[in-house]
Amino acid sequence: MKHLLSPLDLSLEELDNLLDLARDISHNPDKYSKRCEGKKLATLFYEPSTRTRLSFEAAMLNLGGSVLGFSSANSSSASKGESVADTIRVISCYADIAAMRHPKEGAPMVAASVSRIPVINAGDGGHQHPTQTLTDLMTIRELGGSLNNFTIGLCGDLKFGRTVHSLISSLVRYSNIKFVLISPKELRIPDYIRDDVLKANNCDFVEVESLDEVMPELDFLYMTRVQRERFFSEDEYLRMKGFYVLDKAKMAMAKESMYVLHPLPRVNEISVEVDDDPRAAYFKQAKYGVYVRMALILTLLGLDK
Amino acid sequence: MLNVGQLNEGFVLDHIEAGKAMEIYNKLGLGLLDCQVAIIKNARSNKMGKKDIIKIEGGLDLVDLDALGFIDHSITVNVIKDGEIVEKKTLSLPKEITNIIFCNNPRCITSIEQGLKHVFFLADEEKQVYRCKYCEEKYNR
């Protein structure tokens, strides 16, 4: 039984195949519109996440399948004290594949260990969010033509942002990627990413505080949101929240070929005036998220061929 | 020189860092064993200056060698048969340990899931870093 718990569960070859399939789906959606007829996706969302849940549901519906599930712990048996293991054992009787979001880190791994159907981690606390990483990789690959030879800027909350950590861990497997890590001192990447991932893989990286000075060299700029819940004081949050705002003036310093990515939702870190810039790729990225989830569902169900 | 009776069948945990024998005794649950167990503290050692030793009567299956390797992999295990050392085992850091240490991360699924074993894997052998299998939080010794 194949599951997806971490982006690194996939070998480079499997990842290539998955992204090729996602590309084919994006070019020929009709070809896949009945591929999952009669199949059911269970969306087990123990905490609210409109975006990810709807993306999964859209993916399954686009494939001709159907969806069932819950969108908060309160509307599941978890509120009665049922364990994750028991829940997935029961859901295995109802559905063919499950996507699980849970506030506790490692919950999807527990589910996968007893499940009779493939389990996809749709986000477990601050730990992993592999389908966001697949979305990011597909966006870079589709817009840049490959996953090699880029200078990628990651900007904002690099300390707590799990999407950033997963993306770095995935991109170090490709060649000639230079990372420009842009953050205030307080929100720099954790030591284990710097030492165990970047340095351990001999990656080229710099850590800077100023976005302006590095804008001209970037091929991609991955913006992130500063999350209120990570801070002890409101003042500190407000100071960090306003640290980086990408606006037209900053975009004017960037290459014509640079793209801006963001896992969304954004707050104020990308000014709405940037949305009309052809280099603003974050809504396109959300679209790629559906294709890559379609490819993942097909692959895990063995319907990709 | 203090003499402790010779073992005929059993094993000796040798080269324990002085002062650590009781910790090992407790962590390995040796107090629950029904056989003879001897603890020697501060024995003279050419290599270590002083060391602790634990002698246990019976088969090697009485102790969890993975747990022992995690606690201190520089300990040697001498297997005794008919009063003679027949094998000297060296320990290594186990790749995975179960229910020996526990995850303290309040965001980890182990904090709420009933009956879930606490499993840690060896993430970095050189730095002796263990991480929780579920949340990957580092265990601080």
Tens of pLDDT along A108-163? 999 999 999 999 999 998 889 999 999 999 999 999 999 999 999 999 999 888 89
What tens digit of pLDDT does each residue of A17-74 get?
999 999 999 999 999 999 999 999 999 999 988 899 999 999 999 999 999 999 887 7
Whether the per-residue pLDDT at A89 is higher than 80: the answer is yes
Asked if A127 reaches chain B (Cβ–Cβ under 8 Å), the answer is yes
Residue A293 annotated among the catalytic residues of the structure = no
Question: What are the Cα distances from residue B69, in Å, to A288, B14, B65, B93?
Answer: 48, 13, 6, 5
Which residue is catalytic, options A101, A159, A162, A241?
A: A101
In our burial notation (b when 16+ CB lie closer than 10 A, e otherwise), range A174-193 reads beebbbbbbbbeebbbeebb
Tally of CA atoms within 13 A in the half-sphere of B8 that contains its CB: 1
Whether the per-residue pLDDT at A11 is higher than 90: the answer is yes
Of B114, B123, B135, the CB nearest to A105: B135
Most B CBs within 10 A among A105, A166, A230, hence the mutation to make, goes to A105
Residues of chain B with pLDDT below 70 are: 1-5
Q: Other C-beta atoms within 10 Å of A20: how many? A: 13
Tally of CA atoms within 13 A in the half-sphere of A54 that contains its CB: 6
- Average pLDDT (A236-259) is 91
The CA distance from A59 to A64, in Å, is: 9
Query: What pLDDT does residue B3 have?
Result: 63
Query: What pLDDT does residue B8 have?
Result: 87
Inter-chain touch A106–B124, beta carbons under 8 Å: no
Of B124, B134, B138, the CB nearest to A105: B134
Residue A89 annotated among the catalytic residues of the structure = no
Query: What pLDDT does residue A74 have?
Result: 77
Query: What pLDDT does residue B2 have?
Result: 59
pTM exceeding the 0.80 threshold for the entire prediction: yes
Q: Find the closest chain A residue to B106 by CA distance.
A: A104
Inter-chain touch B109–A102, beta carbons under 8 Å: yes
Question: In chain A, at which residue ranges do the beta strands (DSSP E only) sit?
Answer: 40-45, 66-70, 97-102, 119-124, 150-155, 177-182, 204-208, 220-223, 259-261
Q: What H or E segment, with its residue span, contains residue B34?
A: none
Question: What are the Cα distances from residue A94, in Å, to A39, A41, A80, A91?
Answer: 10, 9, 20, 5
Residue A104 annotated among the catalytic residues of the structure = no
Dihedral pair phi/psi, residue B5, rounded to 5°: -50, 145
